[in-house]
Amino acid sequence: MSSNLPRGLAILELLSRNVDGLPLHAIAEPLQIPRSAAHRVLAELTTAGFVRQEGELMPYRLTLKLATLGMAYLNESGIAEVVQPVLNRLAAATSELARMSVVDGERLVWVAKAQGARGGLRYDANSDPGEEVRLFCSSNGQAWLAALTDERALHMVMKQGFNPEAYGPNAPKTITEFLACLAEGRRKGYSDVHESYEVGSAAIAAPVWNAKHTMVIGSVSVAGPEARMKAERMPELGALVMSAAEELSVLSVGIRAQT
């Protein structure tokens, strides 16, 4: 499978975003792979147990093998064991959705969450473990990037994509606005966004450093409905989020960072 590895990985990523599966043409065309080549790669992925097709004309779907490997890796990394108790306490203290993301090379990925809202208006974000965080318009992304130089932050954002029109009305519209968000995050010690990632939501995040405070390994956040997370509530939430970030930094010796 080595000669087809890039195509195989692209197919796995595409299928991971389409839980009901895709027919051959819907896989080959967006990835710009000839159908014959896509068919060969899918056959190899099926043999390896990562993909299944229940009938000749049925769509291709992921099996649970990839998810199982991912969960096994998260368990071995120590992330779940270390992070979840802290998130549970943060969610209970704020009555909002608490989440943790971890640096993975030049990406930021979600690893855990805890829901603190028990009734009424509730925010449930799509942030499953392993899913990539959108950097330029999310509180978690901005909290991480604010710990880097502007040049490094811009490199990360441009690599992932800077497309404000696809997100909330308050997403940074220009590079100047984006850099101003990072500067404000550095000043306050946390980054907060209001209807930046999506309409009707707000979030606040702080960077999580390693135990020696030499490198950011992730970010921790609280997110909820904009109607409940007004600007006047941010200092109180910011203090709770920064406290959780400090606790996670102390505990980070139990996390195998991927930076």
pLDDT, one tens digit per residue, over 38-67 is 999 999 999 999 999 988 889 999 987 887
Is residue 81 included in any domain, yes or no?
Answer: yes
The arithmetic mean of pLDDT across residues 191-205, rounded, is 96
User: CA-based Rg of the chain, rounded to a whole angstrom?
Assistant: 20
- Report the distance separating Cα 38 and Cα 23, nearest Å: 11
Query: Over pLDDT 70: what percentage of the chain?
Result: 91
Question: Please, which pLDDT band fits residue 1 given cuts at 50, 70 and 90?
Answer: very low
Look up the pTM and report it: 0.73
Q: What is the pLDDT of residue 42?
A: 95
- Report the distance separating Cα 122 and Cα 134, nearest Å: 21
Same domain, 236 and 152: yes
Same domain, 239 and 131: yes
CATH number of the domain within which 17 lies: 1.10.10.10
Same domain, 135 and 46: no
Is residue 72 included in any domain, yes or no?
Answer: no
CATH number of the domain within which 249 lies: 3.30.450.40
The arithmetic mean of pLDDT across residues 91-110, rounded, is 92
Same domain, 159 and 97: yes
Same domain, 111 and 144: yes
* Poorest-pLDDT segment among 44-53, 92-101, 128-137, 239-248: 128-137
Q: What are the counts of helices (DSSP H) followed by strands (DSSP E) for the chain?
A: 9, 7
Is residue 179 included in any domain, yes or no?
Answer: yes
Same domain, 83 and 207: yes
DSSP per-residue codes, 174-242: SHHHHHHHHHHHHHHSSEEEESSSSTTEEEEEEEEE-TTSSSEEEEEEEEEETTTS-GGGHHHHHHHHH
- Report the distance separating Cα 155 and Cα 135, nearest Å: 11
DSSP per-residue codes, 6-36: HHHHHHHHHHHT-TT-B-HHHHHHHHT--HH
Same domain, 92 and 19: no
Which SS3 state, helix, strand or coil, does residue 59 take? coil
Is residue 70 included in any domain, yes or no?
Answer: no
Same domain, 33 and 7: yes
Burial of residue 199 (number of CB atoms within 10 Å: 0-12, 13-18, 19+): exposed
Same domain, 127 and 216: yes
| Total domains, the chain | 2
Same domain, 119 and 227: yes
Question: Please, which pLDDT band fits residue 26 given cuts at 50, 70 and 90?
Answer: very high
Same domain, 168 and 47: no
Same domain, 186 and 105: yes
Q: Which domain holds residue 49?
A: 2-63
Query: Residue 220 above 80 pLDDT?
Result: yes
User: Beta partners for 100?
Assistant: 112, 220
